[in-house]
A and B are shown apart, each in its own frame.
Chain A
Amino acid sequence: QVQLVQSGAEVKKPGASVKVSCKAPGYTFTNYYLHWVRQAPGQGLEWMGIINPSGGSRTYAQKFHGRVTMTSDTSTSTVYMELSSLRSADTAVYYCARGSGYIPATRYYFDYWGQGTLVTVSS
């Protein structure tokens, strides 16, 4: 069945980078876009960007331009989200989520979510 399995919690110092992985067994990896969404403690959901797992297009939310990089490894059905120049405001749970429409349809709801990865930024 569809699963999105994320890497474990991370603690980083301000100014460092973090790379979170999302492994997607259970379906044809290259058929669906994957999104990244984050949630600061006690706050709402914030969309960060979308990637075509075939290694093609990616679109980032304006807020994260220049700091976020999303990549994909089709051999392991894994996508990655790297966020650089970390600050305390980046402390959050980071989720990957699958867009439910077949590529190239981008405008679809998110039908499966990873379990989340807590990233803590602290000196």
Chain B
Amino acid sequence: DIVMTQSPDSLAVSLGERATINCKSSQSVLYSSNDKNYLAWYQQKPGQPPKLLIYWASTRESGVPDRFSGSGSGTDFTLTISSLQAEDVAVYYCQQYYSNTYTFGQGTKLEIK
């Protein structure tokens, strides 16, 4: 299975500041035939199911605020929140869908400093 490793495990950022979460895969999730990275980001708030934020590593899901952005390729990816809002407090997960045994990172808990 492809192992997804996120860093840090937790993060405290001041309101209005930038938050950056990293995700590393144990093998490349870039499919050369279509040049797409099979990597998604989800946000999960307490007591709620995960919510899709980003797919194909950098495509924002409809309705997701543009302060959320995804970048990276191959094995190294980043989720950036450009200006943290109070409602962004959540756990964030990356997921690879390159292989048919889909795997998630362990999660990064984002809090307000």
Contacts and interface: CB of A to CB of B under 8 A. Distances in A.
Interface of A: 35, 44-47, 50, 59, 61-62, 95, 97, 100, 106-111, 113-116
Contacts of B97: 107-109
A110 B52 contact: yes
Interface in B29-82: 38, 40, 42, 49-52, 55-56, 61
A107 B33 CA distance: 14
20 contacts: A44-B107, A45-B104, A47-B102, A47-B103, A61-B101, A62-B101, A97-B50, A106-B100, A107-B38, A107-B99, A107-B100, A109-B56, A109-B95, A109-B97, A110-B40, A110-B42, A110-B52, A111-B52, A113-B50, A116-B49
B38 to A, nearest CB: 6
Contact of A45 (B50, B61, B100): B50
Given A97-B49, A110-B40, A113-B49, 11 more contacts: A44-B105, A45-B42, A45-B95, A45-B104, A45-B107, A107-B38, A108-B97, A109-B97, A110-B95, A113-B50, A114-B49
A115 B49 CA distance: 6
Interface residues of B, number: 23
Interface of B: 38, 40, 42, 49-52, 55-56, 61, 93, 95, 97-107
